[in-house]
Structure 1
Amino acid sequence: MAHYPWKHAEELKQTAQSMVANYKGILAADESNRTATKRLEEVGIESTEESRRKYRQLLFTAPDIDKYISGVILFEETIRQKDDGGTPFPELLKGRGIIPGIKVDTGAKPLAGSPDEKVTEGLDGLRERLAEYYEMGARFSKWRAVITVGDGMPTRQCMEANAHALARYSALCQENGLVPIVEPEVLINGSHDIDTCEAVTEENLRMVFNELYRHNVMPEGTVLKTSMVISGLDAPSRAGVEEVAERTVQTLERVVPPALGGVVFLSGGQGDVEATQHLDAMNKKYKNRVPWRLTFSYARALQNPALGSWGSDMANTEQAQRAFAFRAKLNSLASEGEYSEDLEQQAA
């Protein structure tokens, strides 16, 4: 029987509520150095510790983002970096009313016995790392599991292994005062249809929440970061915006506890505008029906315009910041069902 023995229980609830505050969502700036290098090199920027610091500083200091961004997920390198004036990034964010968070898994590795699937690692030494991150100012964390849809996949073995790891991670987070973001991503890669995605997403989330319950993880102090129920990128025909919104909300209603702190979506291979449209459609129609806030925790879908602008001219920081803040504003509106495609024209 769950009894939630966490001394930080009230703080966890308050943090979770702040993470999904009205008109706000979470910036995922937790790309590994390998992923960050790929993104920077795509726009012609050499990836070094300094260029990665400069780029993240550009995002964190953009004007007005505190109106749209509740929290930022940092990478291990980034949480230890400082701005040009010597202020640690967690302190910089906190000063703007933005909650610092930290990605704590060490990546998805081949699953023994099913090498085409992945299991996320990073539990060894996690308790000690979480205590250090809390002292550094982090108040939430993130762990990502990846579920592949394909021939004979996902296997029950893969889903159970990842659900168990997510639950152990979450319990350790709450023990140390950090809200766990639980991210069981069903990958968009593949030719599967939306029916398959819905079935896999529902079964996977059911396993995750069963494991969270078994490990005494308090739902009010937990945030789900989930993929949308969406057709595979290579599907012969792909479901439209309204169907994605309906299927996604329907699946969440079947499985997610009403007491959960909140739901944030990953963009996961969607285009910038597409991800905003889907979030908006969910909130326009279902915002008053569901018991949780439905908002965003995007990486590329928030950063792409800024990165492209900065890559064309690294001296043009202000233009890149405006592009980032504009994308954040549109997703802020989408999180309340107040977005309109007409607003996209303002970017020009």
Structure 2
Amino acid sequence: MNTAQLDRMHSGKGFIAALDQSGGSTPKALAQYGVLESSFTNEEEMYTLVHEMRTRIIKSPAFDSKYILGAILFENTMDRKIDGEWTADYLWDKKHIVPFLKVDKGLADLANGVQLMKPISNLDQLLDRAVERNVFGTKMRSVIKEANATGIQEVVAQQFEVGKQIFAKGLIPIIEPEVDIYSADKEKSEEILKEEIQKQLGLLDKDVKVMLKLSIPTLNDFYKELMSDPHVVRVVALSGGYGQEEANEKLSQNHGLIASFSRALSEGLAVTQSDDVFDTKIAKTIEDIYKASIT
């Protein structure tokens, strides 16, 4: 494990850029950027186009370690290069930004008010490649739709079980049990979720470290106790469908919680923009998310 990266993630100022849209969400991400599905005819062409989009974001002067601590990549992005360097190496060597990898394979069907992760059949091999590519940590997502205690317990138990496997490979897992922001009982779900996370943290061996990626809570500073747990490197927030302005406003009310935004980060960017317009737009976005993350 890279101790310089660990120290940066634990105490650095800034946020995490989520550039990890995978197969199912990639067409939506490209469409938001102005690249329609008619622009590609197969998966390889689609991934080439999204890599070009991510490369443009990463190479922008605004994508700077002054504001950004880390970046989450999709597997296909990890296996591609920027200016002749593997993407993770480029992020750290050229930008001093810590690379993460999304490892989950999507969501299972809804049961007990939640969506567990689908089985990750090749996880060991994927983690070995991540280590070879100098990735620091991983991210995996589940979704909580209802305040169902059984379902939430299953989600958290699954996340921590896989998280321990990831940590054993020398990587820091980002555990992401997302609470649907449109849930009718979101606040109750968050209460159950925090209790289950605290239980699982209490069961970890002394040296195990994790990160937590959570929906911005209904009650401000609700996850403050999790931030001080010795097992927790950092607690970060997903935008979860909030627009950029609303996500920043809600985030700024939660002290110590930093952003790990995807849609809110790329909002307003377009393939047709000149480099000057593109860089000006993303610079404003990054600065706004940064300000909301350092409260």
Change (3 A) 1:73 1:123: same
Equivalent AA in structure 2 for residue 93 of structure 1: L
203, 206, 211: which is aligned to 2:195?
A: 206
Does 1:162 pair with 2:155? Answer: yes
Residue aligning to 1:26: 16
Q: In structure 2, the residue corresponding to 1:120 is in which secondary structure?
A: coil
Q: Distance in 1 between matches of 2:182 and 2:52?
A: 31
Matching residue within 258, 269, 278 for 1:320: 278
Change (3 A) 1:300 1:122: same
User: Shift of the alpha carbon at 1:37?
Assistant: 0.6
Q: 1:204 to 1:76 in 2, by over 3 A?
A: same
Tell me, yes or no, if the aligned pair for 1:29 and 1:299 is still in contact at 8 Å.
Answer: yes
Match of 2:133 in 1: 136
> Which residue does 1:267 correspond to in 2?
239
C-alpha separation in 2, matches of 1:73 and 1:144: 12
- Structure 2 SS opposite 1:70: strand
The answer (yes or no) to whether the contact 2:220–2:253 under 8 Å persists in 1 is no
2:264 aligned with 1:301, yes or no?
Answer: yes
1:197: which partner in 2?
Answer: 186
Count of residues paired in the alignment: 284
**Cα offset, 1:115, TM superposition:** 7.3
CA contact (8 A) 2:77 2:87 kept: yes
Among residues 212, 215, 222, which one is paired with 2:210 in the alignment? 222
**Alpha-carbon distance in 2 for matches of 1:302, 1:318:** 17
Distance 1:334 1:25 in 2: 9
Cα distance, 1:168–1:217 mapped onto 2, change above 3 Å: farther
**Which secondary structure state, in structure 1, belongs to the residue aligned with residue 81 of structure 2?**
coil
Please give the root-mean-square deviation of Cα atoms over the aligned residues, in Å.
Answer: 2.3
SS at match of 2:25: helix
Moved more, 180-189 or 120-129: 120-129
Matches within 5 A, 1:254-293: 257-259=228-230, 260-283=232-255, 293=256
Contact 1:205 1:256 in 2 (8 A): no
For residue 33 of structure 1, give the secondary structure of its aligned residue in structure 2: coil
Cα 1:98–1:43 shift into 2, 3 Å: closer
How many angstroms does 1:255 deviate by?
Answer: 5.6
Q: Measure how far apart 1:42 and its partner are.
A: 4.3
Runs of 4+ in 1 over 6 A off after TM superposition: none
Quick one: which of 32, 49, 59 aligns to 1:51? 49
Overall identity of the aligned pairs, in %: 25
Rate the CA distance shift 1:163–1:72 in 2: closer, same or farther, 3 A.
Answer: same
CA contact (8 A) 1:227 1:265 kept: yes
Inter-partner Cα distance in structure 2 for 1:180 and 1:208: 14
| Structure 2 SS opposite 1:26 | strand
Change beyond 3 A, Cα 1:218–1:31? farther
Deviation at 1:36, TM superposition (A): 1.6
Q: Cα distance, 1:155 vs. partner? A: 2.5
Deviations 1:6-55 (A, max 9, x none): xx5xx56x544412544311001111122121222245413512211110
- Residue pair 1:171, 1:217 contacting (<8 A) in 2 also: no
Give the secondary-structure state (helix, strand or coil) at the position aligned to 1:333: helix
1:62 is aligned to: 60
Letter in 2 for 1:204: L
Q: 1:178 aligns with which of 161, 171, 176?
A: 171
Secondary structure (helix, strand or coil) at the match of 1:270 reads coil
The 10-residue stretch of structure 1 (256-265 or 71-80) with the greater mean CA deviation from structure 2: 256-265
Q: What letter is aligned with 1:198?
A: E
Opposite residue 22 of structure 2, the aligned amino acid is S
Residue segments in structure 2 that go unaligned for 5+ positions in a row: 38-45
Alignment counterpart, residue 86 of structure 1, candidates 84, 87, 110: 84
CA distances 1:259-291 after superposition (whole Å, capped 9, x unpaired): 2212111111111011111222333xxxxxxxx
